[in-house]
Homo-oligomer: A and B are copies of this chain.
Amino acid sequence: MEALQAIITRRSTRRFEDRVPSRELLDKVIEAGRHAPSGHNNQTTHFIVLTDRKVLDELATLVSEEFSAMDSKPGMYVSMSNSIQRAKKGGYVFHYNAPVLIVAANRIGYGNAMADSACALENMMIAANALDLGSCWINQLHWLTDNDRVRAYLNTIGLEENETVTGALALGYSADGLPCRTPLERKGNPVTYICP
């Protein structure tokens, strides 16, 4: 797919088929992420690629339990508040039961950690779209990166002691066929031109 087309038509997918994309496809998506730019060419974004259903289920249960023990507060980011409310209702699966979750982590205390990882996640979302895969940015593990139980679990699957979770990507085949590629209208993201 042509680059500008892949960028403009990328949409978030939140319903996935069970089947795991081939390792060849996954590797293409991950290579796209690994080729993102990084501050001072640090290349410290760490990709933890989860396709093990047991691990994905354990993580979903853990995240649901921890959110259900939290309370929404005034001024809280609406998506986090929604996660808490859904977890309290039960049956909450933060990764939309995607067959693949790619967790992005970076060094604790590194000022460009979020910027670098976000560039990598965006690269992977565009690559996924170009490969007819659906994807969605997942923030819950970032919000819970300092939660004791979540952190302890993530440490068992590869998160290093000096790393913080910056974001994640749910990835797989859209359950609604090809990813919806009608660009969502941009009413925000304003542009100011300062020209001669």
Please give the count of copies of this chain that the complex contains: 2
B-facing residues in A105-125 (Cβ within 8 Å): 110-112, 114-116, 118-123, 125
Pick the residue among B2, B115, B157 that contacts A114 (CB under 8 A).
B115
A60 CB-CB contact with B under 8 Å: no
A91 CB-CB contact with B under 8 Å: no
- Asked whether, in the complex, the Cβ of B40 is within 8 Å of the Cβ of A189, the reply is no
- Asked whether, in the complex, the Cβ of B46 is within 8 Å of the Cβ of A192, the reply is yes
Pick the residue among B79, B111, B194 that contacts A157 (CB under 8 A).
B194
* Stretch from A65-73, A170-178, A180-188 forming part of the interface with B: A180-188
A37 CB-CB contact with B under 8 Å: yes
Pick the residue among B6, B7, B54, B191 that contacts A196 (CB under 8 A).
B54
Please give me the 7 A-B residue pairs with the lowest Cβ-Cβ distance, nearest first: A43-B188, A118-B118, A158-B192, A3-B6, A3-B130, A119-B122, A34-B189
- With A3-B126, A47-B190, A48-B192 given, name 17 new contacts (CB 8 A): A2-B130, A3-B127, A4-B130, A8-B35, A12-B37, A34-B191, A35-B186, A36-B122, A37-B125, A39-B137, A43-B189, A45-B188, A49-B195, A54-B196, A114-B114, A114-B115, A122-B122
Q: Give the B-binding residues of A (Cβ under 8 A).
A: 1-8, 10, 12, 28, 30-55, 77-79, 110-112, 114-116, 118-123, 125-127, 129-131, 137, 139, 157-158, 166-167, 183-184, 186-196
